[in-house]
Structure formats: structure tokens, C-alpha cells
């Protein structure tokens, strides 16, 4: 029997893996259109400019700071997160403890070859994303793995990106609302290298059943192939 947390992340990540190429292609076309429409109203960054942003991203709330260290280059650092689940629930007679967190730290360098507001960026992302869940069997509704039932067993699962530090590539646009305020958006890809799924039982018999369960094997194989996680960030910034 799969835990609630495993099923949830499995569904989301498989969808992302099957659709990321199409989603990124459509998003790239949309960004190109925005560039062509808004490019003429870009506001040139000045060396020494400092910008602070707050917004929302594919990793939760986002807070960033940036420094323009050259006419065409800017360094950024950010924190993303605030999406946490820590709860206990009962389903089909089994008690689930779910502890999930989505978040990341980022270090990026922006390259803006022309004064049109658009930019290309690259950097690294330090993942703080994981789902940890525990399921406990009950006498009336035991845990089931590989056709075996365990009325008193405990199975724990951990799902996280294979790479704790992943490369990131994005394209973005800074739209100046005024001399100080700017609306920024970017989209790209985090190359996570796959998703690791670890499921452990509290006994040798349960662990053997887990390791030989076809659903667990299939989940591990499918999530191992999820090599890209979408990076999306929309934020309001203030230039000092």
C-alpha cells in the first residue's frame, strides 16, 4: 500500500516529467512575445544598483536580492519556501504522518546584452524540497506490499531531488513600473537529475516485501527519470 505522500508527489512529478518539454516551449514563446512588445520600454540598469524582490515561485514564496556589478551582469541570491505540511491523517484504517516541505536557496547571475529589460540567467539551486511520510498498519486494515499484509508494521518513505545542488537556466524580464519599482518574471528549468524514492520497513520481512513490490519498483523507476523541475518566479522589486 502506497503512502499518501508518495502517491501525491508521484502524480505531480510524473505529470511534470511528461509535459515539461511542451510547457517550457510554450513558455519560451510567451516570453519572446513579451520581449517584442515590451522591449522598447526597458529601463537600463546602472552599475551599483541594488534591487530587492518579493513574490511567488514554483518553490513557494520568494525573496531575492540583486546587485548590478557590471553593465550587462547582475548577481542575485534568493530564498524560496513557506510551503510546509506537517499533519497526521487516517485513511482506510491506516494512520499517515506526513512531513512535506518545498523550498530552495538560489545563487544566480543575470546577463542582459541590451537595454531592453530581458535577461538570460544561470546559477545553482540548493534544494530544501522533500516529502517524508510514515504509515502504520492496523489490525483491521494492515499495510500491504508485494501481496503480503502487515497488521503491525511501520513503513517510512522519503522523496527528494537526486541532486541537493542543481544547475538552473532561466529567461526573464524586468518591466519598470517607475524609476524604483519593477515587475519581474522568469521561467526556466532546474536540472535535478531525477527524484530519489526511499521506502523502509521496521522489520526484515516488511523491507523484503517493499523491495519486491512492483508498485514501489515502478515508482522508483518513473521518478528517477524526472530530470527537470520547472522554475517559475514572478516578483515585485524595488531598486535602491
Query: What are the beta bridge partners of residue 57?
Result: 60, 233
47 Cβ contact list (under 8 Å, min separation 6): 68, 69, 70, 71
Intervals of the chain under pLDDT 70 = 1-44, 91-94, 115
pLDDT at 63: 98
- How many angstroms separate the CA atoms of 61 and 234, rounded? 10
The pLDDT tens digits of the residues spanning 6-28 come to: 333 444 444 444 445 554 555 55
Q: What is the mean pLDDT of the chain?
A: 83
Cα(170)–Cα(119) distance, integer angstroms: 8
- CA distances 40 to 34, 115, 120, 185, Å, are 11, 9, 17, 17
Domain at 4-234: CATH code: 2.40.160
Query: Would you give the distance in Å from CA 70 to the centre of its chain?
Result: 30
What pLDDT is recorded for position 99? Answer: 93
Contact between 121 and 169 under an 8 Å Cβ cutoff? The reply is yes
| Residue 83 contacts residue 98 (beta carbons within 8 Å) | no
* pLDDT value at residue 11: 42
Q: What is the reported pLDDT for 33?
A: 53
Q: Where in the chain are the domains?
A: 4-234
What is the reported pTM? 0.78
* pLDDT number for residue 5: 36
pLDDT value for 1: 39
Q: Which residues contact 234 (CB under 8 A, 6 or more apart)?
A: 55, 56, 57, 183, 184, 185
Residue 101 half-sphere exposure, CB side, CA atoms within 13 Å? Answer: 12
pLDDT given for residue 167 in this prediction? 97
Grid cell digits, residue 189: 528549468
What digits encode the pLDDT tens for the residues 149-168?
Answer: 888 889 999 999 999 999 99
CB distance 193 to 187 below 8 Å? no
Q: Enter the C-alpha cell of residue 226.
A: 524526472
Residue 93: predicted pLDDT: 60
H/E run at residue 36 = helix 4-38
What pLDDT, on the 0 to 100 scale, is given for residue 43?
56
Amino acid at each position: 500500500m502506497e503512502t499518501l505522500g508518495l502517491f501525491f508527489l508521484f502524480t505531480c512529478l510524473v505529470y511534470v516529467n511528461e509535459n515539461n518539454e511542451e510547457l517550457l516551449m510554450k513558455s519560451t514563446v510567451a516570453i519572446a512575445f513579451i520581449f517584442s512588445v515590451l522591449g522598447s520600454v526597458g529601463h537600463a540598469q546602472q552599475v551599483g544598483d541594488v534591487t530587492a524582490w518579493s513574490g511567488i515561485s514554483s518553490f513557494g514564496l520568494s525573496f531575492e536580492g540583486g546587485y548590478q556589478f557590471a553593465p550587462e551582469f547582475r548577481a542575485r541570491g534568493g530564498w524560496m519556501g513557506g510551503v510546509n505540511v506537517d499533519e497526521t491523517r487516517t485513511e482506510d484504517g491506516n494512520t499517515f504522518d506526513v512531513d512535506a516541505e518545498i523550498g530552495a536557496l538560489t545563487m544566480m547571475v543575470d546577463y542582459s546584452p541590451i537595454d531592453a529589460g530581458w535577461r538570460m540567467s544561470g546559477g545553482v539551486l540548493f534544494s530544501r524540497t522533500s516529502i517524508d511520510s510514515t504509515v502504520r498498519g492496523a489490525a483491521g486494515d494492515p499495510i500491504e506490499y508485494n501481496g503480503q499484509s502487515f497488521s503491525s508494521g511501520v513503513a517510512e518513505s522519503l522523496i527528494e531531488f537526486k541532486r541537493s545542488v542543481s544547475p538552473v537556466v532561466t529567461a526573464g524580464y524586468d518591466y519598470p513600473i517607475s524609476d524604483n519599482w519593477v515587475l519581474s518574471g522568469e521561467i526556466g528549468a532546474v536540472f535535478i537529475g531525477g527524484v530519489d524514492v526511499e521506502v523502509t520497513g521496521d522489520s526484515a520481512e516488511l523491507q523484503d516485501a517493499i523491495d519486491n513490490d512492483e508498485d514501489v519498483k515502478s515508482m522508483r523507476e518513473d521518478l528517477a527519470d524526472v530530470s527537470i523541475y520547472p522554475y517559475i518566479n514572478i516578483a515585485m522589486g524595488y531598486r535602491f
